[in-house]
Structure 1
Amino acid sequence: MQTQTKYSIKYYPGTINSVSQEGNFFYFYTEDTILELSVKTDRILRFRYAADGFFQKDFSYAVSKYASIHMTQLGFEEHAEHYEVHTAELICQIRKENLKITLLNKKHELILQDEAGFHWQHYLQKGGKINYCSKEIQPDEAFYGLGDKPTELNLRGKYLENYGTDTYGFPKDGDPLYKNIPFYMGLHSQGRQGYGIFFDNTFRTIFDFGKGDTDTASFWARGGEMNYYFIYGPDLLEVAEQYATLTGTPEMPPLWALGYHQCRWSYYPESKVKEITSEFRKRKIPCDAIYLDIDYMDGFRCFTWNKEYFPEPKRMVKELLGDGFKTVVIIDPGIKMDKDYWVWQQGIQKDYFCKRADGTLMEGDVWPGKCNFPDFTNPEVREWWSGLFRGLMETGVRGVWNDMNEPAVFEIGTFPEDVRHDYDGNPCSHRKAHNVYGMQMARATYHGVKRYMMPNRPFIITRSAYSGVQRYSSVWTGDNIATWEHLWIANVQCQRLSVSGISFAGSDVGGFIGEPDGELYTRWIQLATFHPFFRTHSSGNDTKTEQEPWSFGHKYETIVRKFINLRYQLLPYLYTAFWQYVKQGTPILRPLAYLDQNDPETHQRMDEFGYGEHILVCPVLEPGVSERNVYLPKGIWYHYEGGYVARGGQEVKVQCPLDKMPIFVKAGAVIPSFPKMQYVGESPIKEMTLHVYFQQDEEVVSTLYEDDGDNHGYKNGLYNLHKFETFGKKQDLIVTHHMENDKYESDYRQFKLVFHGVPFEAKEYIIDGKVYSLQKRNSLNNLVWIKADKHFKRIILR
């Protein structure tokens, strides 16, 4: 079947004439087209189409090799008008007439239905095909995901594309951006039906969520195959978890990487670096990492040091580490064309640089001048690149920052489309490899840093990415601007990245371009306190004012210190949330719709977000604000600083002068807390504080994960996993403690338990059967606190 458009003929599949099954694979044949439907789990189906009857080689950079295939039920039936594949959770109907797909849950409720379904047209200008798929939009449907898009959280009515682009000073609604995450989620039927679509195609991909046709959601690619995964929830949080598991979760980061980082373009020479780090310690502002931008190199040559600025880098890095600062250095993909430069010599000799279609080397201007660029899609090149990090790691560097890897090239923007790539033995043009170039650079960097960092954990950050990059690297949102609008954008971007599989994300605090005032910088610090990656970064060469926590005067410095201290106190809570992300793909940041999707009010909210299991955060995103409305999802919530209680399912007005930010804790939660510190590992933790929030007549479970924080022993079971259950009644509160794993020997020997919101006057407490009287010293500001051995099993406060 075909239809004529202004530009080309669109083709549609015809009638199914035969069907076959091979285990969990089902094949549906029309005259020209084949649909391959593979069942991955009871809730994940993969749809792959061969328009001309021939499949391309099945290969993916995104899907984890550890993604398992498992299902409890699999069936196949033929009906009068359709075939049906069903699992324990899904019914997939394939219409005989035209291969259109309808997806139902086990109750026969509609989840997703093809509009035109799969169709295609020949790409006459470039070659290959443009492959389309269109779905019906339900009346109340909302859409989420797609990585770093700087637009409203709900994508309904948006037209967006993925083609990694160096977008310096990107505006709100700017598109495309740095990252290429072709994964979105839909929610409809009053929040009852949530699902995801992962379109695993690395060509330029486009998504239309009802902008062209208000009743149709479409996605297409200018090359490659129509190859997508359908992921069923129905809970959005479950969809996000399944997607992250499919594309892979990271290893645990070093604990210090979750601390505060300081960066600018650029800190040099050594005396300037030491001046900055000494100010942190003198002013008692916690910080764990100091960054060196491109000026640390010799003429911007990667893997070299500028001996004028840093005459003895190994000594300097060691001294910084002695004061608690881990050094992170930038590495770009452009290798300077210089016959006396050893990295370029090796790349030329081994034929590791990208070439144009006629066989000449790809040349482009970036910071060093004329450069060649490694083909990171070649496994041999990745192995070579990994080996180049030996010198930096032996110098004592603890992390590597990959930039300019969209790839960015001055004047022309990026590589021309005729550049050739190996693509792991599947030779192709840059049209196919562009969106994965940065991810494969991060992959090679990760393996090199990990190899030479042993026994410590690697830390990588990248600007460009494709689905699955979370296995190798953290990310930041790119070259933002010091404006209130960009503070709003940072809040939305990090939530969106988190539910798109990339939780380890943050923005340049204060804005990279331009100059924030003290109020904007302070509010940005408050937001970023609750972003997994927490770094101030600025283009210092372009601004008059330095952008360190003390740059805006004592008033702002005091507040910034308060929130960075809060970040360090909440590190065990964040580290636990990170373990849950690693273990089961649970996003660390959760938009309101992911906390209560059955409440329609949450579907459009963007400011508030969940932070781990039990904390809700609402940043202040406008100047001059001293109070704001916060929407609380279902449940009972404690104001973190004020201690008062509010019921969810409503908007509440919260006082938030500059030194405060709306933060709420879910009733029943147990929130672990560290004592104050200047950096991770400054001294042994002598006591862990547990903040217990009273909830009546409901059992609430909380988790605390802990390990060494900077080695790989946790992979062999060397970690602790605490489970706390709270249950409050009118006259008592019970806290039970169960160790699901107890193989790591922590420094502290006792917990300090601080009880919030206890509605009765407590007289005593019982620890594992032993009764203790509460003394006056156990009460302060309407709080009750006690101490217990870290192995306690049951505490009753009454």
Structure 2
Amino acid sequence: MPFLRALFLVLAVLPLAARPRPLPLKAAGLAAPGVALFVPQGLDPAALPPSPALVAQPAFQAPLPHAWRLRPAFSQDGDRTTARFRLPADVDLYGTGEVTGPLRRNGTRIELWNTDNYGYGKAGGRRLYQSHPWVLGLRRDGTAFGLLFDSSWKADLDCRDGVAFTCRGPAFPVLVIERASPAAVLRTLGDLTGRMDLPPRWALGYQQSRYSYAPGARVREIAAAFRARRIPCDVLWLDIDYMDGYRIFTFDPKGFPDPAGLNAELHAQGFRTVWMIDPGVKAEAGFAVRRSGDALDAWVKDASGAPCVGEVWPGDCVFPDFTRPEVRAWWAGLYGPFLAQGADGIWNDMNEPAVFGTPDGTLPEDSRHGGGGGLPPGPHLRYHNLYGTLMARATREGMLAARPGLRPFLLTRAGFLGSQRYAATWTGDNTSTERDLRQAIPMTLNLGLSGQPFNGPDLGGYAGDATGELWARWCAFGAFFPFARGHAAKNANAKEPWAFGPEVERTCRIALQRRYRLLPYLYTCFREAAETGLPVLRPLFLADPADPALRQEARAFLLGPDLLVVPAWAADAPRPRGRWLPLSLVEGDLDDPLQARLYLREGAILPLGPVVETTAQAPEGATTLAVAPDAAGHAEGRLYHDAGEGFAYRAGDYRLVTYRASRVDGTLQVREARVEGRRPAPPQPWTLLELRAGADLRSAPPR
């Protein structure tokens, strides 16, 4: 019996010893109206750790109301710190950044550790290229909240029982947003983490890429094929094979002997070009970028203090330490001569950073970053998730310094909450499968619900061979993503719109012509995203947050506030309340069974342009106003336009028109109810198209 009593005592004590210890709350209050700040013990509320996710350091402005509902419980277990929220079972969760899986995040767990994840195969797809310590919550009555965990350390985000964020690092602050709607939460998220700048209008066009279009003659062939086939396209992408031995900021002297001449030829045909720059610098003594970086001792260090060396495409590489301001300035300065060759945009890839042949595909966790400019020195465990964002920041600064009169277009693979301030993104190396076709929509939606409006997948799937049917179906709805780029891996089959024969080519041409007709509306949506932080691509529940039927819908989606997009394979998808009238944009779009069906919200006015092959051909303003009057004969819509390039819009050189329609003596009339900005009205008049319930649009599609 004494033995049994002793065993019982041991078993009773062991669980207690393994439990995390509670971490008391040190301070709580309002950092802004409806935004609570919680600071656990171990932090000084007056000197919080620097937050790369936030545009300004949070501080207490008012006491926390006694009735405030959502409060975190902090705990620690060794080197791990957790903040946990208990939530009612009927709360729906969204956001959590770049993730595979369903739109509704209840019952999921992800790892926040940016990972080069080809085909989403590593860790079951639970960690990808970006990390967003953020959750959007939606209650039954349509009110909403946001949870922001302000830590960049390696972490888990668990939504299986309430929400728990556990990081491999010290205590961290938590921000809680309370609002009347999810849209209001997203606007506040934009206040906190910043908003994207308005991109150049050409970046809204269709874009074509491959690993790789090389040599230069092949790039010319692709450009000629687009124009000969009259398929809209604005941008061609240059992957790493343009480089000399994969050395960044160089050009292959055989395949690309005259990059400036190539860019000039493409510009003359209405194309822009985007060129890839990776972070890995070839560890070669005679390489100019290596030499100039050595002069600054610019590299991330290993535990012994020597530069970290890891294998990437050029072989052994060293890696810039972007936590240091002087290193970011050096990196920014490398772009001037490169952009002088005529490149229009930059593509930062492999910037998790990816390293070949290591246990976790990146630098060791104990690698050292020097910090500076407010960032303290620290291990890679702290700065890994920020590496891609800090690289994008330095790249953007270099682009602005080299061409101060042009809006930069930058795409980054790796990122963190707030990286929308510097770059657009895409969802990485997906596959040419039905699975990735279907999950492209919730992935894009959840990135938008995490503050990153300018995103999308590789259309058709990057890895593996696509069938013609898959490519056609993907293009038919993917043409409406904010970032619309077809891309393919080196060992995959050709995935240009014409690669699968005339029937698939026709489907793709129609889909892309529809996108280009929508450019006036799409550009207006991007302007709204830049001003408010609201996503361009939206889940249906954003239109009616209290409707439970919309909470899990991840097939149909909204483009901006007024256009409903229903993929052909989702005809049974629910719709937000009210009438949604079918819309035809180009001849043949209603006859092609693979095309997504488009519906305009009753009471909306949709600005449309003509069918063009590049955004450069698109006139300012709208050539058609599609009007869907409500039962009272009223409708309203907005149209934004500016020069499409440069920053004069910031000084008022833009035109934002609010149109209102009403029926007078049986005739529908539209007027400019409000005009903002000082840009003059475009010279061309617009025509009016009234949508009517039950009308056969095939008989008279708008032109």
Match runs of 1:563-712 below 5 Å? 563-621=511-569, 628-641=571-584, 658-682=593-617, 684=619, 688-697=623-632, 699-712=634-647
Distance 1:477 1:308 in 2: 32
- Per the TM alignment, residue 757 of structure 1 is displaced from its structure 2 partner at its CA by 1.2
- Per the TM alignment, residue 294 of structure 1 is displaced from its structure 2 partner at its CA by 0.3
Counterpart in the other structure of 2:308: 362
Q: CA 1:729/1:218 → structure 2, altered by over 3 Å: closer, same or farther?
A: farther
- Per the TM alignment, residue 728 of structure 1 is displaced from its structure 2 partner at its CA by 4.8
Distance 1:730 1:602 in 2: 38
- Residues 607-660 of structure 1 deviation map (CA, whole Å, 9 limit, x = unaligned): 111110101112245xxxxx73121111110112399xxxxxxxxxx9985342
Counterpart in the other structure of 1:41: 32
Distance 1:52 1:667 in 2: 52
Structure showing the higher strand proportion among its residues: 1
Distance 2:668 2:271 in 1: 42
* Aligned pair partner of 2:421 in 471, 474, 488: 471
Residue pair 1:64, 1:247 contacting (<8 A) in 2 also: yes
SS in 2 for 1:629: coil
Flag structure 1 segments of 5+ consecutive residues without an equivalent. Answer: 14-32, 77-84, 87-91, 94-102, 105-111, 124-129, 622-626, 644-653, 761-778, 787-798
Counterpart in the other structure of 2:175: 229
Residue pair 1:753, 1:785 contacting (<8 A) in 2 also: no
- Residues 113-154 of structure 1 deviation map (CA, whole Å, 9 limit, x = unaligned): 55xx1222232xxxxxx2212222212111100111111111
Residue pair 2:553, 2:573 contacting (<8 A) in 1 also: no
- Larger mean CA deviation between 714-723 and 443-452 belongs to 443-452
* Aligned pair partner of 2:680 in 734, 737, 745: 745
Q: CA 1:595/1:68 → structure 2, altered by over 3 Å: closer, same or farther?
A: farther
Residue pair 1:34, 1:51 contacting (<8 A) in 2 also: no
Flag structure 2 segments of 5+ consecutive residues without an equivalent. Answer: 1-12
- Residues 767-792 of structure 1 deviation map (CA, whole Å, 9 limit, x = unaligned): xxxxxxxxxxxx99776999xxxxxx
- Per the TM alignment, residue 709 of structure 1 is displaced from its structure 2 partner at its CA by 0.3
* Aligned pair partner of 2:285 in 333, 339, 346: 339
Q: CA 1:784/1:289 → structure 2, altered by over 3 Å: closer, same or farther?
A: closer
- Residues 480-503 of structure 1 deviation map (CA, whole Å, 9 limit, x = unaligned): 100011001211100110111001
Q: Which amino acid aligns with 1:323?
A: Q
Counterpart in the other structure of 1:312: 258
Residue pair 1:705, 1:720 contacting (<8 A) in 2 also: yes
For the pair 1:291 / 2:237, whether they are aligned, the reply is yes
SS in 2 for 1:281: helix
Instruction: From the CA coordinates, give the structure whose radius of gyration is larger.
Output: 1
Q: Which amino acid aligns with 1:41?
A: A
Q: CA 1:523/1:359 → structure 2, altered by over 3 Å: closer, same or farther?
A: same
Distance 1:642 1:687 in 2: 14
Counterpart in the other structure of 1:416: 364
Distance 1:481 1:780 in 2: 36
Distance 1:53 1:247 in 2: 22
- TM-score with structure 1 length normalisation? 0.82
Residue pair 1:167, 1:479 contacting (<8 A) in 2 also: yes
For the pair 1:542 / 2:491, whether they are aligned, the reply is yes
SS in 2 for 1:12: strand
Across the aligned residues of Structure 1 and Structure 2, the Cα RMSD in angstroms comes to 2.6
- Per the TM alignment, residue 433 of structure 1 is displaced from its structure 2 partner at its CA by 0.2
Match runs of 1:362-441 below 5 Å? 362-412=308-358, 413-424=361-372, 425-441=375-391
- Larger mean CA deviation between 733-742 and 229-238 belongs to 733-742
Report how many residues are paired: 684
Match runs of 1:516-531 below 5 Å? 516-531=466-481
SS in 2 for 1:632: coil
- Residues 84-130 of structure 1 deviation map (CA, whole Å, 9 limit, x = unaligned): x33xxxxx45xxxxxxxxx24xxxxxxx355xx1222232xxxxxx2
Counterpart in the other structure of 1:714: 649
- Per the TM alignment, residue 454 of structure 1 is displaced from its structure 2 partner at its CA by 2.9
Counterpart in the other structure of 1:121: 77
Distance 1:783 1:591 in 2: 30
- Per the TM alignment, residue 453 of structure 1 is displaced from its structure 2 partner at its CA by 2.4
Distance 2:487 2:365 in 1: 32
SS in 1 for 2:189: helix
SS in 1 for 2:340: helix
Distance 1:369 1:781 in 2: 57
Q: Which amino acid aligns with 2:77?
A: Q
Residue pair 1:48, 1:228 contacting (<8 A) in 2 also: yes
- Per the TM alignment, residue 232 of structure 1 is displaced from its structure 2 partner at its CA by 1.2
- Per the TM alignment, residue 752 of structure 1 is displaced from its structure 2 partner at its CA by 1.4
Distance 2:419 2:625 in 1: 34
SS in 1 for 2:81: strand
Residue pair 1:491, 1:527 contacting (<8 A) in 2 also: no
Match runs of 1:752-771 below 5 Å? 752-757=687-692
* Aligned pair partner of 1:178 in 129, 136, 142: 129
Match runs of 1:137-286 below 5 Å? 137-171=87-121, 174-188=125-139, 190-210=140-160, 214=161, 216-286=162-232
Residue pair 2:621, 2:641 contacting (<8 A) in 1 also: no
Structure showing the higher helix proportion among its residues: 2
Q: CA 1:758/1:382 → structure 2, altered by over 3 Å: closer, same or farther?
A: same
- Residues 137-181 of structure 1 deviation map (CA, whole Å, 9 limit, x = unaligned): 212111100111111111111122211011111159611111101
Distance 1:133 1:685 in 2: 50
Distance 1:683 1:504 in 2: 21
- Residues 496-541 of structure 1 deviation map (CA, whole Å, 9 limit, x = unaligned): 10111001001111111111111110111122211111100101x2
Match runs of 1:2-13 below 5 Å? 5=15, 8=18, 10-13=20-23
Q: Per chain length, whose mean CA-contact separation is higher, i.e. which structure has more relative contact order (CA < 8 Å, sep 6+)?
A: 2
Q: CA 1:6/1:367 → structure 2, altered by over 3 Å: closer, same or farther?
A: farther
For the pair 1:560 / 2:508, whether they are aligned, the reply is yes
Q: CA 1:54/1:727 → structure 2, altered by over 3 Å: closer, same or farther?
A: closer
* Aligned pair partner of 1:63 in 34, 51, 54: 54
Q: CA 1:730/1:70 → structure 2, altered by over 3 Å: closer, same or farther?
A: farther
SS in 1 for 2:571: strand
- Per the TM alignment, residue 69 of structure 1 is displaced from its structure 2 partner at its CA by 8.7
Q: Which amino acid aligns with 1:690?
A: L
Q: CA 1:297/1:729 → structure 2, altered by over 3 Å: closer, same or farther?
A: same
Distance 1:466 1:642 in 2: 37
Residue pair 1:149, 1:173 contacting (<8 A) in 2 also: no
Q: CA 1:699/1:37 → structure 2, altered by over 3 Å: closer, same or farther?
A: farther
Q: CA 1:686/1:201 → structure 2, altered by over 3 Å: closer, same or farther?
A: closer
- TM-score with structure 2 length normalisation? 0.92
